[in-house]
Structures are given as C-alpha cells and as structure tokens.
Amino acid sequence: MKGGATPLLRTRTCNRVLWPAREVFVLKTEILHININAIEKDKLSYAAEVIKGGGLVAFPTETVYGLGANALDTKAVQGIFNAKGRPSDNPLIVHIAEKSLLPELVRQTTETARRAMDAFWPGPLTLVMDKSEKVPGIITAGLDTVAVRMPVHPVALALIREAGLPIAAPSANTSGRPSPTTAKHVIEDLFGKVDVILDGGNANVGLESTVLDVTVNPPMILRPGGVTAEQLEGILGPVNIDPAVIKMKSENITPKSPGMKYTHYSPKAEVIVVEGSLEKVVERIKNFVEEYKSKGTQMGILATDQTRRYYSGAEVISAGDRNHPETIASNLFGALREFDERGVQVVLAEAVEVKGIGMAVMNRMNKAAGYNIVKVD
C-alpha cells in the first residue's frame, strides 16, 4: 500500500507475475502492521477492498491467523485452496461479523444454534448448519451443511464488517503444517501467494475454533478447539464428541468433519507423544534421549514449566504451565515450528490431560505425531 488515507488499489492482475515455463503465479504480498487497539482505517479499508476485488488477505483472529476471501466468489475461494495447497474435499469456515448475515447462508437457525450463538459468539465456536442455496459448493466441498463462525478478534471483526461480505477463512498456513499464530508464521508459508498479510501480533487462543454440528441432536463436537466441551454442555446440555477426535493409531475411525482425516499440524521433525503419569513420562523421555543420542539424532523435547528442568542433551521448549493448559494451547503450534527452525529431527512431546482445552491440545498433538503415541503405564 502506498501511504495516505485513500490507498490506490492495484488490480490483482498487476500484482501477478507469470512464470511462463511453470505457469506459477507469484503475488506481490504486502505486509501491513495493524494496531489492534486503534485499527488504522486506511489499512483496514485497503484490505477490505482487496477482499471485495477477489483477492486474498491473511488476518489475525483470536484462534489462529486466517486466510480470507469473499465467500460468495467461487474464483476467490479457489485462490485459498491454491495458496494453501488444501485438498478440495476439505470445506471452509465462513466468517461473519453480524448475525443478520446468517439467513443468507443457512436454511434455518435452530434453537440449539441460537443458544450456542448467544453464549459463545463472537468467539472461537464454529457451527455446522444446513446451507442455503447461496453458499457456493466450493466452500462446503459439496456437503449440504456450511460451517459458520463469528470471530471476536477486533481486526477480524472490523475487516469482515468493512468488506460487508461473509469471508471464507481457513488457517493461513500451507496445508498440513502447524497453524500460524503469528504473522511471521504466515509469511513463512504464504509470502508470494497472497495479496496482503495483516500483522496484528499473536493469536492468543493458539488453536482453531471448536466445530460443533448443530444439525444433529444432541449436537456433536467434530473438532475440539477454543470453546471446551464442558463450556458447551453448561449451556446446551449433553453434547456428543466425534470418536475420531481423540483416537488411537490402531483405530480405523472415519471422522465426520472432512478436514479431520488429514495428517495435520506436522512440523518437519518426527513427533512422538509420550502419555501416562508425569513421573513415568519424564523417565521415558530421558531414556529416549539417551537411545537416540547414540545414533546422532537431533532431539527436541516439548516439555512443560513443571518438567523442563529435568531434561538435558536435547532442545527443550516448554509449551506452558500444566495448571493453566490454555498457555499450552497458545504456544503449541509456535513450539512445533520452533523445533524445525532449530533443526530438530525427533520431538518427544509430553501429553497433557484430556480435559477442558486439553482435549483440543491432545487432538492437535496426536495429529502432529501421526498418532505415534507411546503409553508408559
């Protein structure tokens, strides 16, 4: 963006450089720092114009960074799939800033959906509802349902409002890599593939939204996330959890949410989760380090504040405080990327309790490990 209050919007075509031999489009990505406490109007309206013009804008949300495009523009949405290398059978979440946009997107709002929205919107809860005709098939990967969320992050809300459109936005990472919780992570994966990256600091929940299917009774958690099962039950009564959410390697369960079947969140390093009583977990990890060290493998340990002092002979990163698992949620993806930066080949990760936000943490950790889980008692 050239400075000034009314930025000149370049067309996307001008932004693109064609690499004739390989037919690869390279976009000129603009990185705009944005003050989340006093959002700069010119930057916001520039980003909104890019969205309205069919472009791609990465922006902070309270869960992770999202990669946004006009949800009603099939070509723009195809751009998201291309930039991320996302499989076309993995549907996208549509983000709105006002409930009044909902009737355009869904066939009806059930009583359960209404209660969930009243309690948790804006916030990290995505609701799966019956889709309207208006939602393009590319968004839902051909399903009859659409996933909708209203984020609480001020930049996300302001951008959606300013664009005046529903915005499709999956996590702003290359498919399969750990989701981005900082603009730096987005730059690592998507620089040259998107038009604008809005840098608004850390995404503080650190894990994606909870995906709740409210087309069934009782409602079912398809993906655990920022809103916990306990919080949902407090408002909605009994809630089922898709068995695929916390599955074991040996179990052959097909998840109800298409995206959950993919190996996700993987750093380049191999990840092994060690699960059991904390004392035995620490002992097993120390033994692993000894075994691998003799082979010359670069080791990493994903520890916690309570255990990090027990380890040596490896790159040790504390994910956070076991007594405050939300800190672990917040740091997990960043830590996985950090191990790659340090050239670690194998990461030994301490499991945490599958309770509260811990369910979402273990879902992501087990997936990062490709369900390579060692139980010690």
- Judged by the rule CB under 5 A, the positions of this chain that interact with Mg ion are 170-171
Q: Which is nearer to ligand AMP, 64 or 314 (CB)?
A: 64
Helix axes 229-236, 111-120, angle to 10 degrees: 120
208 binds ligand AMP per the rule CB under 6 A: yes
90 binds, among ligand AMP, Mg ion, none (CB under 5 to 8 A by kind): ligand AMP
> CA torsion angle for 94, 97, 103, 104 (degrees, to 10)?
-60
Residue with tokens 């670069």: 298
List binders of ligand AMP among 137-176 (CB under 6 A). Answer: 140, 143, 145-147, 170-171
Q: How far is the CB of 245 from ligand AMP (least distance, A)?
A: 11
Q: Summarize the chain as % helix, strand, coil (round to 5).
A: 35, 20, 45
SS3 358: helix
SS3 330: helix
Q: How far is the CB of 365 from Mg ion (least distance, A)?
A: 15
246 binds ligand AMP per the rule CB under 6 A: no
Residue count, binding to ligand AMP (CB under 6 A): 20
Q: Which residues pair with 240 in a beta bridge?
A: 220
Helix axes 325-341, 358-368, angle to 10 degrees: 20
Asked if 231 and 355 touch (Cβ cutoff 8 Å), the reply is no
300 binds ligand AMP per the rule CB under 6 A: no
Among 154, 224, 259, 320, binds ligand AMP (CB under 6 A): 259
Pairing of strands 145-149, 125-130: antiparallel
Q: How far is the CB of 65 from ligand AMP (least distance, A)?
A: 11
Q: How far is the CB of 49 from Mg ion (least distance, A)?
A: 26
Token duo for residue 148: 């909708």
Among 91, 123, 219, 226, binds ligand AMP (CB under 6 A): 91
Token duo for residue 185: 């992570």
93 binds ligand AMP per the rule CB under 6 A: yes
Which residue sits closest to Mg ion, CB atoms considered?
Answer: 171
Among 231, 257, 363, 366, binds ligand AMP (CB under 6 A): 257
CA–CA dist 239, 218 (Å, integer) = 6
Q: Could you tell me how many helices (H) and strands (E) the chain has, helices first?
A: 12, 18
Q: Which is nearer to ligand AMP, 43 or 256 (CB)?
A: 256
Q: How far is the CB of 12 from ligand AMP (least distance, A)?
A: 23
Q: Half-sphere exposure of residue 257, counting CA atoms within 13 Å on the CB side? A: 26
Q: Which is nearer to Mg ion, 171 or 257 (CB)?
A: 171
369 binds ligand AMP per the rule CB under 6 A: no
Binding residues for ligand AMP (CB under 6 A):
90-93, 128, 140, 143, 145-147, 170-171, 208, 211, 222-223, 257-260
